[in-house]
Structure 1
Amino acid sequence: MTRPRRIAVARLWHEANSFNPVPTGLEDFRRREWTRGAAALEGARGTATELGGLVRFLDAHPHWQVTVSRCTSAPPLGPVTQAALATIRDEILADLAGQDWDGVYLSLHGAMVAEGDLAPDYSLIRAVREVIGPDPLLAVSLDMHACIDPSLAGAADILSGYQTYPHVDMDDTAIRALSTMERAFALGTRPAIALSQLDFAPLSHGMRTAEGPMAELVALGRQACRDAGLEDVTFFGGFTYADTPNTRATVAVTHQPDVAPAPMLGTLAAAYLARRDAFRVDLPGAEEGVALALDHLARGARWPVVLVDAADNPLSGGIGDTTALLRAMLACGSDLPMLFCFFYDPALVALAHELGEGAEIDCALGGRIAPDFGAPVPFQGVVERLTDGRFRNRGPFEYGREIDMGRTAVLRAGQMRVVISETCQSANDPAWCDLNGIDLAQVALFGIKAKNHFRAGFEPLCGPILEVDCPGVAPADMSLLPYRHLPRAFYR
């Protein structure tokens, strides 16, 4: 009979954009994900998330006795406030202290920035190790865009990162980390982590794993696990908009103590470095992008042709407030049906709900938080639809997760519809269309503040998807940003 394993679990998931002027507070965590104990497991069952993977693993390993501490995440806004971080960290550490654990699993992002701490994920990992002592195994899962602090290798035993982008393998990532822990228990061994940091910061625009350089690297990592007997290989890209000393490409290997990782780690690092230039992108501006989209439509492209404004993508820490793409779409003179997603404006949403569906509305869109990224756009139209902003993802990205966008409103002026919302979250799942009463087959030109995660659910429903580079806090041209900790040589 397999001996019971006493395991503690906690989750703190946040990616910070150092250039976003809106700090991430405790209320942002409470709104997106705030759970613990049995409720955390019950709510995650069947979802394509790390906790969903944990539930699947526990179903297959009933001898694991799991205690779930605080599990929380927040949208990628600006740096986390000290008060919010302290509240979450102190709760987790208090739950772990004074207990006899066999292992601890932490679900983190790895690119959080906080007031006064450029590497709070790793400060937490070190604090957890100090609280639980040297004996329990410590497993960590991270996002592919984690900014890896070298201290991780000395504090944790097991590391696994996402292998897909869009990140549709969050649950599988958790299972890889937990399975490595279970093998270590069975073998009576202690795995170890080896890292190789590289002096460049690849743009996430070029990191999709369906094809291209990251797809090639992931395949090399899987082959390395088979050939060299490694437990895990992850190619981390860093998050280029988190301005930290650890924002860079990193190769991470988890291995058993009888496996020497250095030869394979060196080979994989060289393969990553050799592809540095393949991650670069050259994107058109808003006006050029709209002209390209209209050309596609004139040549019979499937509706909708999509214009993706990644510089204001909320999952890159965008502010949901920039106006360049909307302005270009309105100025193009087309009489085709158009849709723009979205503007983050709680006050305007409240006004729309007060006016009611069918009411006329005279307002300004965008330019509210940071007018340097585009002045407000005057808008006169009607309130077409109002919603409570709640739906469940159809996937594959975060399949099954309940979404609360706050209330939304669909505004219409002629052939243009614009969606506004109470929180800074873009459309990354087709269920968003159902919520807002949108039939994409009836939309010719679709402008959206998003990036790669949008493709997971929407690519099968759309025609050509064109990226544009507009003013914003997450531009493809990194030289536009005032970095303090990331050397210019890493991205020029």
Structure 2
Amino acid sequence: MSNVRRIAIARIWHEANSFNPVLTTLDDFRRREWTKGEDALIQARDTATELGGLVKFLDDHPHWQTTVSRCTSAPPLGPVTSDAIQAITEEILEDLAGVNWDGVYLSLHGAMVAEGDLSPDYSFLTAVRKAIGPTPVLAVSFDMHACLDPSLIKSADIMSGYHTYPHVDMDAAAIRALSAMERALETGQRPQIALRQLDFLPLSHGMRTDKGPMAELVAMGKTECTTEGLEDVSLFGGFAYADTPNTRAIVTATYIPGIDPEPTISRLSAAYMARRKEFGITLPDAATAITKAVSDLDSGASWPIALVDPADNPLSGGIGDTTAQFRALVDADPDYPTVFCFFYDPELTQKAHQLGEGAAISCALGGRIMPEFGPPVLFEGIVEHLTDGQFRNRGPMEFGRQIDLGRTAVLRRGQMRVVISETCQSANDPAWCDLHGIDLNEVAIFAIKAKNHFRASFQELCAQIVDLDCPGLAPIDLSTLPYRKIPPAFF
């Protein structure tokens, strides 16, 4: 029978857009995910998340005795305030200190930026290692868009990243890391991590793993992992909108003593660089895409056609406030049922709730945070529907996770409906449509601020998905951003 394992768990998951002026506060973490202890495991059960993977693993490994410290995440906004990261870190370190752990598992994103710290994930890992001492096995999972400081290999023993984009294998990434920890504890062989940074920053728009260069690289990594006897092989693209010295493509391998990871690292690094140009894309502007969509509909095209604005995608640190796509839609005035998702505007949402359903509303939409990405657009209509913003994901990405958008409102003018909300969060799950009373079968044009994660649930629900090139904080033309830490030669 296996020996009892004494394991600690913690989670800080955040991706920061360095150019977003809206800082991420402790309240943002508390609103999205704020769990601890047994409650964290109860909430995570049957969800496609890292903690959901942990629960699955624990069901199969009853000899693991786990202590779950703070587990939290926040939407990708601007950098995290120093007060927030300090409060979360201190709570976790206090829980870890003074205990003889066999192992510690951390669920991190890897692309967090904080006030005064361009690599807080690394700072946190270093602090955790200091708190637990040199003996416990330290395993960590990361998002595929992590910006990894090479020095982290001095603190962590095991690393596993997501292998899918859209990220539908969060639970699997956790299970890979936990399984490697169990093998290490069984055999007494402490793994090590090899990590190589590349002088290249791939555009995340071209990183989907259903096809294309990233799909090929991930497949190569899985083959290398098996044939070379490695514990894990993961490829990272960095998060292009986090302006840090570690924002770039990265290849990693976790290995046990006696196995040389360098041949694998070298082959995958060469393959990554050889595909550099394949990550670049071009997209139509909003007016061109809308004109074509209307033409397609006039010719009998199936509904709905999704028009996706990735430059203001909240999961890329967008502000949910740019107006180029919406203005082009208003100017085109398509004679078809249209849904626009969304504008982040807490004050306007509050006003809509005060007015009530059926009330007339006159307002300005968007352009309140960074009007340089488009001035506000005047809107007159009615408040059609009000919600509390609560739903549970039913699509494959983060399946089962409870979502809190804050209050939302559906405004309507003619055949156009516009959703506004109290928080800046992506609509990447069909349960979002259910919440707002939207039947996609009755929508011709679905205009949305989103990116690749949108496809996980909506690829099969939309007749077409067309990405647009709009101004915003997450553009395809990285040269438009005022980078200070990333050399232009990288992109």
Superposed pair shares fold, TM > 0.5: yes
Aligned position for 1:165: 165
Aligned position for 1:123: 123
Aligned position for 2:431: 431
- Matched residue type, 1:167: H
1:138 aligns with 2:138: yes
1:67 aligns with 2:60: no
* Deviations 1:399-443, CA, capped at 9 Å, x for gaps: 000000001100000111000001001211000011000011111
C-alpha deviation, 1:155, in angstroms: 1.1
- Matched residue type, 2:188: G
- Matched residue type, 2:215: A
Tell me, in whole angstroms, the C-alpha distance in 2 between the residues paired with 1:275 and 1:383. 49
1:91 aligns with 2:91: yes
Question: Does the 8 Å contact 1:108/1:142 carry over to 2?
Answer: yes
C-alpha deviation, 1:295, in angstroms: 2.9
SS in 2 for 1:224: helix
- Matched residue type, 2:135: D
1:353 aligns with 2:362: no
SS in 2 for 1:176: helix
1:261 aligns with 2:256: no
- Matched residue type, 1:372: E
Tell me, in whole angstroms, the C-alpha distance in 1 between the residues paired with 2:39 and 2:218. 34
SS in 2 for 1:461: coil
SS in 1 for 2:349: helix
SS in 1 for 2:150: coil
Aligned position for 1:409: 409
Tell me, in whole angstroms, the C-alpha distance in 2 between the residues paired with 1:402 and 1:301. 35
SS in 2 for 1:244: coil
Question: Does the 8 Å contact 1:301/1:464 carry over to 2?
Answer: no
- Matched residue type, 1:134: P
- Matched residue type, 1:234: S
Question: Does the 8 Å contact 1:296/1:305 carry over to 2?
Answer: no
- In the TM superposition, what are the counterparts of 1:16-415 in structure 2 within 5 Å? 16-415=16-415
- Matched residue type, 1:61: H
* Deviations 1:157-179, CA, capped at 9 Å, x for gaps: 00000000000000010000000
Question: Does the 8 Å contact 1:361/1:382 carry over to 2?
Answer: yes
- What is the root-mean-square deviation of aligned Cα atoms in Å? 0.7
SS in 2 for 1:151: helix
* Deviations 1:348-376, CA, capped at 9 Å, x for gaps: 11111111111100000001111111000
- Matched residue type, 2:327: R
* Deviations 1:18-43, CA, capped at 9 Å, x for gaps: 00000000000000000110100011
Tell me, in whole angstroms, the C-alpha distance in 1 between the residues paired with 2:61 and 2:394. 28
Tell me, in whole angstroms, the C-alpha distance in 1 between the residues paired with 2:308 and 2:94. 43
Question: Does the 8 Å contact 1:410/1:418 carry over to 2?
Answer: yes
Q: Percent identity, aligned pairs only? A: 69
C-alpha deviation, 1:333, in angstroms: 3.3
- Matched residue type, 1:136: P
- In the TM superposition, what are the counterparts of 1:452-471 in structure 2 within 5 Å? 452-471=452-471
- Matched residue type, 2:175: I
SS in 1 for 2:473: coil
Aligned position for 2:489: 489
Tell me, in whole angstroms, the C-alpha distance in 1 between the residues paired with 2:319 and 2:196. 33
Tell me, in whole angstroms, the C-alpha distance in 1 between the residues paired with 2:359 and 2:421. 18
Tell me, in whole angstroms, the C-alpha distance in 2 between the residues paired with 1:346 and 1:237. 33
C-alpha deviation, 1:14, in angstroms: 0.2
C-alpha deviation, 1:300, in angstroms: 2.6
Matched residues, number: 491
Tell me, in whole angstroms, the C-alpha distance in 1 between the residues paired with 2:131 and 2:333. 63
* Deviations 1:314-351, CA, capped at 9 Å, x for gaps: 00000000000011011113211111000000111111
- Matched residue type, 1:63: H
Tell me, in whole angstroms, the C-alpha distance in 1 between the residues paired with 2:269 and 2:164. 19
Q: Mean Cα displacement is larger for which, 301-310 or 20-29?
A: 301-310
SS in 1 for 2:8: strand
Aligned position for 2:13: 13
Tell me, in whole angstroms, the C-alpha distance in 2 between the residues paired with 1:432 and 1:363. 24
SS in 2 for 1:218: helix
C-alpha deviation, 1:301, in angstroms: 2.3
C-alpha deviation, 1:152, in angstroms: 1.3
Q: TM-score, normalised by structure 2?
A: 0.99
SS in 2 for 1:386: strand
Moved over 6 A (4+): none
C-alpha deviation, 1:187, in angstroms: 1.2
C-alpha deviation, 1:55, in angstroms: 0.3
SS in 1 for 2:68: strand
Tell me, in whole angstroms, the C-alpha distance in 2 between the residues paired with 1:414 and 1:56. 48
Question: Does the 8 Å contact 1:69/1:92 carry over to 2?
Answer: yes
Tell me, in whole angstroms, the C-alpha distance in 1 between the residues paired with 2:475 and 2:367. 17
Question: Does the 8 Å contact 1:193/1:254 carry over to 2?
Answer: yes
C-alpha deviation, 1:9, in angstroms: 0.4
Tell me, in whole angstroms, the C-alpha distance in 1 between the residues paired with 2:455 and 2:237. 19
- Matched residue type, 1:162: Y
SS in 1 for 2:459: helix
